[in-house]
């Protein structure tokens, strides 16, 4: 089994504002295997420099990818992945465990091998979604930027029929961001439009309290990561006293052990968690988080870590194996000028297979 690895630098159509500054492009590494049936199986190792816990620089990352290439080529065969039971074997679990500190690589391995198992047809997880019987509800995302840019995005999402909108906050003066949310709420009631905000840790424990109260007055559904990760006591207090739901996002990054995950959720008791397979240990890591969340009556949704359409296709298919989904943070990869062709399409706030 020959593994091919190629770097793909994805270029944003518009510079995208995040809590880590303005992004103009983003790297991914595409894993591929040419199969005996003539098809090609793909997986994606997607990183966000400055956020991904497994990415220091390209040289370090590519050394690890080359270790993976040697490992797979030496110890695994295409035939082994023809059997679905391979994903329950000790050998498989040991493979994932050896890359546990590299969640984006685990995601790439899992996507590649599941595609390989299905014969290279980009079918990662079969469900009603892949059979085109149902769709996934998603939120429309408003990126950080100046007031006019954010307003322009809001109008686009409303015109596209989204009933849940998530606005990234913390980039401009708070009162201007609040005014945009007030404008949305004046036009649409909470029954017509669900509002979420994502702070990416922009506020302090003290400044977050009045902001959460203001958001409550606008019937905002939830705020993701109001304060910087690592302040467990402060975050726990916010979750206990907040008038709106709080979702943990960056707080989950770098937590690999099951016991650590369980301890974090019990200590903070958030209302929601936000999961990204590229940051949280691939599908296997996210499954652990979901199981623990549901055991503790914590709701969740999945979102992307700016993957290409290869990674987004895999994440959407994984997400669709669950039922009664809240609106998810997924899309088609339309942010980029040089993406791969997508098998996904968005219509009226729903993601479906073409």
Q: Which residues 6+ apart lie within 8 Å of 269 measured at CB?
A: 236, 239, 240, 296, 298
**Sign of torsion over alpha carbons 211, 303, 195, 187:** positive
Q: Which residues 6+ apart lie within 8 Å of 136 measured at CB?
A: 129, 316, 319, 320, 325, 328, 330, 350, 351, 352
Please say if 14 is a catalytic residue: no
Strands 344-347 and 299-302: unpaired
Helices (H), the chain: 58-75, 90-98, 103-117, 147-159, 174-187, 205-217, 232-241, 258-268, 282-295, 309-319
Question: Residue 31 CA to chain centroid, in angstroms?
Answer: 19
Catalytic one among 26, 276, 287, 354? Answer: 276
Q: How far is CA 155 from CA 92, 159, 161, 184, 267, in A?
A: 47, 6, 10, 10, 39
Catalytic one among 26, 157, 168, 261? Answer: 168
Please say if 13 is a catalytic residue: no
Neighbour count for residue 283 (Cβ, 10 Å): 23
List, by residue number, the catalytic residues: 168, 276
């Amino acid at each position: 089994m020959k593994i091919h690895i190629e770097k793909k630098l994805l270029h944003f159509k518009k510079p995208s504002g995040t809590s880590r500054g303005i992004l103009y492009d983003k790297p991914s590494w595409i894993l591929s295997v040419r199969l005996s049936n003539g098809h090609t199986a793909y997986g994606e190792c997607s990183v966000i420099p400055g956020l991904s816990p497994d990415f220091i620089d390209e040289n370090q990352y590519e050394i690890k990818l080359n270790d993976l290439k040697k490992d797979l080529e030496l110890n695994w065969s295409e035939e082994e992945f023809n059997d679905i039971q391979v994903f329950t074997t000790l050998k498989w679990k040991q493979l994932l465990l050896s890359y546990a500190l590299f969640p984006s690589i685990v995601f790439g391995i899992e996507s590649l091998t599941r595609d390989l198992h299905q014969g290279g047809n980009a079918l990662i997880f079969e469900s009603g979604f892949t059979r085109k019987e149902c769709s996934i509800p998603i939120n429309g995302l408003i990126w950080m930027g100046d007031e006019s840019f954010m307003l322009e995005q809001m109008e686009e999402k409303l015109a596209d029929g989204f009933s849940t909108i998530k606005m990234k906050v913390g980039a401009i003066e708070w009162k201007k961001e609040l005014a945009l949310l007030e404008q949305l709420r004046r036009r649409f009631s909470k029954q017509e439009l669900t509002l979420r905000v994502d702070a990416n840790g922009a506020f302090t424990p003290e400044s977050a309290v009045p902001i959460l109260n203001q958001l409550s007055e606008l019937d905002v559904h939830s705020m993701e990561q109001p304060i910087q990760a690592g302040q467990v006591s402060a975050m726990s207090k916010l979750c206990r006293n907040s008038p709106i739901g709080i979702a943990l996002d960056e707080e989950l990054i770098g937590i690999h052990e099951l016991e650590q995950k369980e301890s974090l959720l019990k200590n903070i008791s958030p209302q929601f968690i936000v999961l990204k397979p590229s940051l949280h240990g691939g599908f296997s890591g996210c499954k652990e988080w979901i199981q623990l969340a549901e055991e503790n009556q914590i709701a969740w949704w999945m979102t992307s870590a700016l993957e290409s359409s290869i990674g987004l296709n895999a994440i959407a298919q994984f997400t669709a194996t669950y039922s009664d989904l809240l609106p998810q943070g997924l899309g088609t990869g339309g942010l980029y000028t040089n993406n791969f062709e997508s098998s996904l399409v968005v219509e009226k706030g729903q993601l479906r297979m073409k």
